[in-house]
Structure 1
Amino acid sequence: MSTQSLNTRRKSLQGSTSLSTSRSLFFVVLIFLTSLLALGLLYRQFPDLEEHEAKFIKLPWNLEEAKQLGLVLDRYKEKYFYEVLSGVFLVYIFLQTFAIPGSIFLSILSGFLFPFYLALLLVCCCSAVGASLCFFLSNLLGKKVIKKFFPEKAATWAKAVDKHRNNLLNYIIFLRVTPLLPNWFINMSAPVIGVPLVPFALGTFIGVAPPSFVAIQAGQTLHTLTSTSDAWSWMSITVLTLFALLSLIPVLLKNRFKDKFD
């Protein structure tokens, strides 16, 4: 094939990739706007609020806003329990899906509003569902962008995943329990480096439980908290460390038995 033909084909492929990326970006923006519309409709379904309360119905960006929101929702929780529950559920998933910070405050808020085990199940489900949706969005757009602009890094990450492919569930759990990588980074990079959805979602559901346990427990005393750091103690850090080590024990045992029988 001539050099001119190769150049023409390369330009054609680049144009196709650009169009595909643009189309992916369009769908991501469309999904984002649709999600905002759904949250707006949810807000309209909420019962009429007092004027001084309505200003607190917003995404909490700090602990004080979470306290004020919790006090308002707690007032309506008895009569409109499922509306409050579904509201926290959808907003939590929205934040996780689009990698927006603030879910830690919703975890604390869940501990304040709901019974402990319901709050824990709610946070774990929201984290798994939201992370999976973020996974799909990243697979739709982020994968193309990273492979186009960082092909060598993408190949290196993929090789690292292949080396641990038989233990991906345990590694996802370990990453969720420990603060080594932020959750939004794990959500967005997982499809790029070839992590399958099932161990990713299941590992997220299991792995977020220990840190969520700490946040929800803190939420039960939300009115006394002055900062999110108050939720952490040496005991909670020790517990998270033990959970992280436990997640790696099956991997270590598996490798040991493999070496023994090989």
Structure 2
Amino acid sequence: MAKKRRDVRDSDNLSSSAQTEVKSEAQQSIGGSTRMSLLILASIFACSASVMYLVYRNFPELQDDEMEKIKIPKDMDDAKALGTVLSKYKDTYYTQVLVAYFATYIFLQTFAIPGSIFLSILSGYLYPFPLALFLVCLCSGLGASFCYMLSYLVGRPVVYKYLTEKAQKWSQQVDKHRDHLINYIIFLRITPFLPNWFINITSPVINVPLGVFFVGTFLGVAPPSFVAINAGTTLYKLTTAGEAVSWNSLAVLGILAVLSILPVCFQKKLQQKLE
């Protein structure tokens, strides 16, 4: 009997040891996948940066003081300085300036680099309102979609390692709105409940379709972009990016956010009545 108990304890110890070994191997596998993903991501970033370099090599020749102003704006002063240079060359080198703006915006969105809000404001200063709005929505949709594809390609190990709990919570919310995902994505883009970078990198992990993701982003960024572009028409009166948003614009964004989710509420009530 004692021998039998000893055998059971030995078996439990072996089982516990095996489980520990399996967990250790799984953690090592995740760590290796994460390192490989980060390496691939760094390579893609280097290639994209090279493309950006080629874009700016085709830019018109600038004076030394103008060259200093050609950089990703970090504050409103940088945006004003950049706007001064771009507006000077926009009419003569329209295509080059447009391509540079387009490529830079998508680059920032793809790699979740801060600064795109200043480019949105700047578009209102450089271009007619309809073109500026379409340009910002298209750049946001494409850039976010490229970020989505990057996450689909190499981001899963990173999300599983660093954002597991948050991703699981959002996955539950997405499952609740699976029948009307476009409305839900539009709502999230208008409201500040989730950071845009988090939406971009976790969407492919929780199986949000790319087509729905792009359309929802394209339409959802329009209201906030409307505010930013409108502020760009008075760029040189602004001292901070926060001044681009007034209480009136916040009220409008709130109303549009509610309108985006109303069809969902009506659909649920209709289903309840039919059932």
TM-score, normalized by length of structure 1? 0.91
- How far apart in 1 are the matches of 2:154 and 2:54? 27
Pairing of 1:163-242 with structure 2 (within 5 A): 163-242=176-255
Q: Could you say which residue in structure 1 is the equivalent of 2:130?
A: 117
Q: Could you say which residue in structure 1 is the equivalent of 2:40?
A: 27
Conserved? CA contact 1:161–1:194, under 8 Å: no
| Rg (Cα) greater in structure | 2
- How far apart in 2 are the matches of 1:113 and 1:106? 10
1:52 offset after TM fit, Å? 1.6
Report the AA paired with residue 174 of structure 1: F
Pairing of 1:1-262 with structure 2 (within 5 A): 3=15, 14-148=27-161, 151=164, 154-262=167-275
- How far apart in 2 are the matches of 1:110 and 1:72? 13
Describe the shift of the 1:184–1:8 C-alpha distance in structure 2 as closer, same or farther (beyond 3 A). Answer: closer
1:222 offset after TM fit, Å? 0.8
1:256 offset after TM fit, Å? 0.8
RMSD, aligned CA: 2.1
Long gaps (5+) in structure 1: none
Conserved? CA contact 2:223–2:253, under 8 Å: yes
Describe the shift of the 1:149–1:242 C-alpha distance in structure 2 as closer, same or farther (beyond 3 A). Answer: closer
Describe the shift of the 1:124–1:154 C-alpha distance in structure 2 as closer, same or farther (beyond 3 A). Answer: closer
Conserved? CA contact 1:39–1:90, under 8 Å: yes
- How far apart in 1 are the matches of 2:60 and 2:216? 37
1:77 offset after TM fit, Å? 0.5
1:41 offset after TM fit, Å? 1.3
State percent identity of aligned pairs: 52
Describe the shift of the 1:78–1:16 C-alpha distance in structure 2 as closer, same or farther (beyond 3 A). Answer: same
Conserved? CA contact 2:167–2:202, under 8 Å: no
Conserved? CA contact 2:40–2:154, under 8 Å: no
Comparing 83-92 with 20-29, greater Cα deviation is found at 20-29
Comparing 70-79 with 184-193, greater Cα deviation is found at 184-193
Report the AA paired with residue 122 of structure 1: L
CA offsets 1:212-257 (integer angstroms, 9 cap, x no match): 0111111111122122222222221121111101101110110011
Comparing 117-126 with 190-199, greater Cα deviation is found at 190-199
Conserved? CA contact 1:178–1:244, under 8 Å: yes
Report the AA paired with residue 112 of structure 1: Y
- How far apart in 1 are the matches of 2:20 and 2:245? 59
- How far apart in 1 are the matches of 2:105 and 2:164? 33
What SS does structure 1 have at the residue aligned with 2:92? coil
Between Structure 1 and Structure 2, how many residues are aligned?
A: 262
Conserved? CA contact 1:172–1:200, under 8 Å: yes
Describe the shift of the 1:37–1:243 C-alpha distance in structure 2 as closer, same or farther (beyond 3 A). Answer: same
Report the AA paired with residue 155 of structure 2: G
Report the AA paired with residue 45 of structure 2: F
What SS does structure 2 have at the residue aligned with 1:99? coil
Conserved? CA contact 2:137–2:222, under 8 Å: yes
- How far apart in 1 are the matches of 2:208 and 2:188? 13
What SS does structure 2 have at the residue aligned with 1:48? coil
Describe the shift of the 1:244–1:25 C-alpha distance in structure 2 as closer, same or farther (beyond 3 A). Answer: same
Report the AA paired with residue 47 of structure 1: P
